[in-house]
């Protein structure tokens, strides 16, 4: 069970300090948005390269961008230890996952709420993680979509049948109120933005979330 605070909810003027606030987390979740695949624009390669030099925890870059086949491997080369692309945007997700692994990163595949998992289940051998979005991608602070829990269960069951160590990540509206529901459904990596960075003690919020999911290990 891993906690991955999203810096989308952090103070962008002080990102090094904000990363230090979550030094007890398992990952730093970095949302990359291009203003095309989603209607928001955040950060890109130069900032990720800079963050790689100062982050106390490994980075998981979640790419909400067009043409990830072209751009995603560059994030691995920039220092992200995990890179997640949206299958809806990928031209050749199988080859892209292989390219990410070849660049030294874990390969993750993300699914929007309306995107079914079943058509992509045969990609599991190429993947290290499947991200089930529990909000519509593009903005932080949205309400948790509990109707995505059956998809989380479906992914977890497919992984059990397939074998291997493939993580199931949830992202969107994850908080102390919703994280146990996600864990019960089979998630084991939890992205939390405002639930962590909205707290006075971000590290304490990480520990609170970790304690809640520990009940389900």
By annotation, the residues acting in catalysis are: 31, 171
Closest CA to 210 of 58, 84, 24, 55: 24
Q: Which helix (H) or strand (E) holds 217?
A: none
Task: List beta partners, residue 85.
Answer: 63, 109
CA distance 54 to 38: 28
Q: Provide CB contacts within 8 A for 118, sequence distance 6+.
A: 154
Sign of torsion, CA 7 13 15 18? Answer: negative
How distant, in Å, are the alpha carbons of 12, 77, 132, 202 from that of 17? 10, 24, 29, 12
Torsion of CA 49, 55, 58, 62, to 10 degrees: -50
Burial status of residue 215 (CB atoms within 10 A of its CB: 0-12, 13-18, 19 or more): exposed
Q: Which helix (H) or strand (E) holds 40?
A: none
Strands 59-64 and 28-33 come out as: parallel
């Amino acid at each position: 069970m891993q906690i991955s605070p999203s810096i989308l909810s952090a103070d962008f003027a002080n990102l090094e300090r904000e990363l230090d606030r979550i030094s007890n987390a398992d990952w730093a979740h970095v949302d990359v948005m291009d203003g095309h695949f989603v209607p928001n624009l955040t950060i890109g390669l130069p900032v990720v390269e800079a963050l790689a030099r100062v982050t106390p925890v490994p980075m998981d870059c979640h790419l909400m961008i067009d043409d990830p086949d072209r751009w995603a491997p560059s994030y691995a080369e920039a220092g992200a230890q995990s890179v997640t692309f949206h299958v809806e945007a990928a031209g050749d997700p199988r080859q892209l996952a292989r390219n990410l692994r070849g660049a030294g990163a874990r390969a993750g595949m993300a699914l929007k709420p309306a995107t079914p998992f079943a058509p992509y289940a045969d990609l599991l051998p190429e993947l290290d993680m499947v991200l089930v979005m529990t909000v519509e991608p593009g903005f932080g602070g949205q309400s948790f979509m509990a109707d995505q829990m059956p998809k989380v269960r479906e992914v977890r069951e497919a992984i059990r049948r397939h074998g291997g160590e493939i993580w199931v990540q949830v992202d969107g509206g994850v908080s102390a109120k919703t994280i146990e529901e996600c864990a019960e459904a089979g998630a084991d990596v939890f992205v939390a933005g405002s639930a962590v960075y909205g707290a006075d003690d971000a590290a304490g919020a990480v520990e609170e979330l970790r304690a809640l999911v520990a009940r389900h290990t």
